[in-house]
Structure 1
Amino acid sequence: MSQLQIVEVTPKNVTKETLFCVRDISNPGFESKRKWFAKRYKEGLRMKILKNADDKMIGFIEYVPAEYAWRPIDADGFIFIHCIVVYSKSDRNKAHGSMLINEVEKEAKAMKKHGLCVMTSKGTWIANKSIFEKNGFTQVDKRGRFEFLSKQWHPSADPRLLDWTLQQKKYEGWHLLYADQCPWHEKSVEALLNTAMDFDIDLKVQKIETAQEAKNAPSGYGVFNLLHNGRLLEDHYLSATRFRNILKKELKK
């Protein structure tokens, strides 16, 4: 453990340290996330990368004051963890994830926050709750496939999930709403638009530009939403192949 180091990514060193998920600074997704990160940094968003003695990246964590979280949550006074990843399976039983969570907890306590909170799921593109339960988090809310966990050290009302299903009916036709919080969305949006053209589908694309817009998104994940006639079809990154299969199924109805 003593050979590990946690490096804070800032707008000034981001091209050197990269964004972990996308390390190639020439990738269009990197530039989209970099610009998003620079704006959000002013709102308190932080990203830290865990490295070994050889300067190899092992994992990372991204977090933000919950008032500025890009998920449909109500958790004022808390720090919200957007993402946590330990890349290699061989590293996942070495307490590296706990090390990153503990780093955020120390900061949150220094900031006099009520506690930490996080959205988890057994699905893709989001962390499983087990790592957080090992670190003292308990489930305080649940909606669909998403669980909401918190760890509190100051008395406060429990954080809660907002009802994103209330937002879905207003999206008639085909809609894709996304944000640059995930650097892979840029690639997905391009693939989905090209596929929609192949099927002569009018896919209306809208970029989510603020945390408040993300809180009012029509899915639990918040930053990626594919809808058709008021129904949520997917809430995370999609490939062209997956979208093609969705289109075939929907067009048969």
Structure 2
Amino acid sequence: MDLVKITPENLAQEHICCALSNNADCQVLSKKAWLKERLAEGLVFLKGDVRGKCFIEYLPAEFAWAPVEADGYTFIDCLWVAGRFAGQGHSNLLLEECIRDSRERGKKGLAILSSPKKRGFLSDPNYLRHKGFAVADTAPPYFELLYLPFDGQAEPPRFGPSAKGGAQGPAADGFVLYYTNQCPFPAKYAPLIEGMARDRAVPFRSVHLTTREQARQAPTPFPTYSLFYNGAFVTHEILSEKKFEKLLLERGL
């Protein structure tokens, strides 16, 4: 498998891998607009020349849209290789390229968000531990900041103060959703579920984090998408209409 690097020159025509092929789709538009600005900050988006989800996205941790304190590290936003590519070495290839590039840039190591067990939209902890990653810090209810230091003397990264209350969000009735454009899917699904809540007269507030500073001060380790209900954390997994309907029914709403 060969790797394709997204650049300002090829961004418009290249597919961004997340099962989205229509450049006019709001999800593609939001993600590519976000990427365009991040490329100038050192973000790297590498994908396999295959049809399907097979890519890694990383950037200097100082520019990460997450409440982490990891100066000198590379922060991996996403490492996603679809199950149908399992066992073909694609994850290793992508991660090894990230390691090579980060070493050349003089980085202390890599940092990435995960959890004790495999969860959707978070990197697989079993794979990462197999590759030498260890837990640098934790935040409730289940988030782990994993790291792979290049030097045993490197200070481990940690979550910022705002992330440490991750199971407890803002004091508010109803739902509060935090999201960014780092992932393309919220551009479609955040308005959809907000509309569903509004139709049922269920209080719902969306907080669209549009700057890195806002994301780094978010009350969740995963500002890409975090949903709270009555001040308590519900999920970081991006909800479809069907999944949100189930959640509403479970709460009698």
TM-score normalised according to structure 1 size: 0.88
Distance 1:249 1:149, change over 3 A: same
How far off is 1:201 after superposition? 2.3
Report what 2:4 is aligned to.
7
Partner of residue 64, structure 1: 59
| Higher mean C-alpha deviation, range 186-195 or range 209-218 | 209-218
Deviation at 1:57, TM superposition (A): 5.0
- Contact residue 98 and residue 131 of structure 1 kept, 8 A: no
Which amino acid is the alignment partner of residue 198 of structure 1? D
Change (3 A) 1:88 1:160: same
CA distance in 2, matches of 1:11, 1:237: 28
How far 1:58 sits from its partner (Å)? 5.9
**Cα offset for 1:153?**
1.6
Asked if 1:131 is matched to 2:131, the reply is: no
Contact 2:165 2:220 in 1 (8 A): no
Question: Gapped runs of 5+ residues in structure 1?
Answer: none
Q: Which residue of 1 aligns with 2:34?
A: 36
Aligned with 1:13: secondary structure? coil
Q: 1:213 to 1:95 in 2, by over 3 A?
A: same
- Cα pair distance change 1:243/1:58, threshold 3 Å: closer
Aligned-partner SS, 1:170: coil
User: How many residues end up aligned between the 2 structures?
Assistant: 245
Match of 1:79 among 51, 74, 79: 74
Structure 1 residues 43 and 5, CA gap change in structure 2 (3 angstroms): same
Distance 2:150 2:71 in 1: 14
Q: What amino acid maps onto 2:36 in structure 1? A: A
Q: Per the alignment, do residues 57 and 242 of structure 1 end up closer, same or farther by CA in structure 2, a change over 3 Å counting? A: closer
Q: Hey, what's the Cα distance between the residues in 2 that align with 1:129 and 1:153?
A: 19
Deviation by residue 1:128-165 (Cα, 9 ceiling, x = unmatched)? 12222232222222333222221112332111123525
1:123 and 1:145 in contact (8 A); partners too: no
* RMSD of Structure 2 on Structure 1 (CA): 2.0
Aligned residues with identical type, % of pairs: 27
Deviation at 1:112, TM superposition (A): 0.6
**Paired position in structure 2 for 1:198:** 199
CA–CA distance in structure 2, aligned partners of residues 249 and 169 of structure 1: 20
User: Which TM-score applies when normalising by structure 2?
Assistant: 0.88
Residues 171, 225 of structure 1: alpha-carbon distance in 2 compared, 3 angstrom cutoff: farther
> C-alpha distance in 2, partners of 1:182/1:171?
26
1:108 aligns to what SS in structure 2? Answer: helix
C-alpha distance in structure 2 between counterparts of 1:171 and 1:243, whole Å: 21
Q: Following superposition of structure 1 onto structure 2, how do residues 1-253 of structure 1 map, counting pairs within 5 Å?
A: 4-21=1-18, 22-51=20-49, 56=51, 59-89=54-84, 91-121=85-115, 122-143=118-139, 144-154=141-151, 155-163=153-161, 164-166=163-165, 168-173=168-173, 174-251=175-252
